[in-house]
């Protein structure tokens, strides 16, 4: 396992981090399986576990808490808030009112008195940066969080939040958690240059592109991934962007074979090769999935392999632009761009 410094915090973190989104109902991973995954990940050198309150409505946090009991101090523990937690309209977002409550709920579910990294799951256009950063700064001063970060923020919002922190003398985001894979390289255009400029640590999620780069999705095979059950449109090969992904996967598989690597090693090695990326978040659903991904822990791709990847998916290219998670609200809601 490789270890890197998380932004400018001085905290040493593993180049592969364990994402717990599949723990619970989303991935149908049981407590026994989750504990086995955590055990194997820690044994393999992983020292970061990332979850969120919205993952299976808090079930993921509860399962992580049980799995890490008795060894919390050896783990860099991260969680998130922002996404809806129920139907009540104020049980979501980036307001002080909600973040204070959401963090207390997360700490209770995790069974800990603090988290190392607390992340705002998405940018909240209804809440000012000053409001959110002020709440996070107070939570940090209270000892409930050590650091705070953003997740899936557009580049201009990352810059705006850094400016707001300086302008109002508040703590700043020290990390960003964007989606990044060989198939979705759009963040290379603006987000990653900005995180490098401000010295943010980067925890890249979906490095296997929701399973497209796991080796399970190939030409002529029936798609059988957990994601296909609740996001079927993202796996329908009749959709042009999915067809483009499948074509790219076939070409990438040949590159991996020629380099003596699995497709998973190629995919994870690509993400961790970018100088702006601190860790790639893997999200195994079973212990077998974890072991296949841990095999990429020390993978270093040579320049010729990286060049071959660039010819298949050019730098800065998203093969499925409609799947981006940081699209400005005005592009999604016509009422926000029309007078």
What residues are labeled active site?
55
What's phi and psi for 13, nearest 5 deg?
A: -130, 155
Alpha-carbon gap, residue 245 to 254, rounded angstroms: 14
Please, are residues 179 and 215 in contact by the beta-carbon 8 Å criterion? no
Alpha-carbon gap, residue 199 to 174, rounded angstroms: 8
Please, are residues 266 and 252 in contact by the beta-carbon 8 Å criterion? yes
Per-residue b/e over 26-42, b at no fewer than 16 CB within 10 Å?
bbebeeebbbbbbebbb
- 207: closest CA among 260, 273, 305? 273
Helix (H) or strand (E) holding 19: strand 16-19
Q: Is 96 exposed, middle or buried (0-12, 13-18, 19+ CB in 10 A)?
A: middle
What's phi and psi for 77, nearest 5 deg?
A: -100, 125
Q: Which residues pair with residue 3 across a beta bridge?
A: 14
Please, are residues 52 and 21 in contact by the beta-carbon 8 Å criterion? yes
């Amino acid at each position: 396992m490789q270890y890197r410094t998380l932004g400018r915090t001085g905290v040493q973190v593993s180049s592969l981090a364990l994402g717990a989104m599949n723990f619970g109902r989303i991935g149908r991973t049981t407590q026994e399986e989750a504990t086995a995954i955590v055990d194997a990940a820690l044994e393999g050198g992983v020292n970061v576990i990332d979850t969120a309150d919205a993952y299976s409505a808090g079930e993921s946090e509860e399962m992580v808490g049980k799995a890490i009991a008795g060894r919390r101090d050896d783990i860099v523990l991260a969680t998130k808030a922002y996404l809806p937690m129920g139907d009540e309209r104020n049980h979501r977002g980036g307001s002080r009112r909600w973040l204070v409550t959401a963090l207390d709920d997360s700490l209770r579910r995790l069974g800990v008195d603090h988290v190392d990294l607390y992340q705002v799951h998405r940018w909240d256009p209804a809440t000012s940066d000053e409001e959110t950063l002020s709440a996070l700064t107070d939570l940090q001063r209270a000892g409930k969080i050590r650091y705070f970060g953003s997740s899936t923020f557009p580049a201009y919002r990352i810059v705006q939040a850094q400016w707001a922190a300086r302008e109002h003398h508040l703590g700043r985001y020290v990390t960003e958690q964007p989606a990044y894979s060989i198939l979705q390289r759009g963040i290379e255009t603006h987000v990653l240059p900005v995180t490098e400029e401000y010295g943010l640590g980067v925890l890249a999620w979906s490095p296997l592109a929701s399973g497209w780069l796991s080796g399970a999705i190939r030409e002529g095979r029936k798609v059988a991934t957990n994601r296909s059950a609740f996001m079927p449109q993202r796996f329908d090969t009749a959709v042009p962007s999915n067809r483009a992904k499948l074509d790219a996967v076939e070409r990438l598989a040949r590159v991996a074979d020629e380099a003596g690597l699995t497709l998973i090693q190629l995919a994870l090695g690509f993400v961790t090769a970018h100088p702006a990326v601190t860790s790639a978040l893997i999200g195994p659903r079973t212990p077998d999935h974890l072991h296949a991904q841990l095999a990429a822990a020390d993978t270093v791709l040579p320049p010729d392999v990286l060049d071959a990847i660039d010819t298949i998916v050019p730098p800065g290219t998203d093969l499925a632009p409609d799947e981006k998670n940081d699209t400005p609200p005005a592009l999604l809601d016509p009422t926000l761009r029309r007078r």
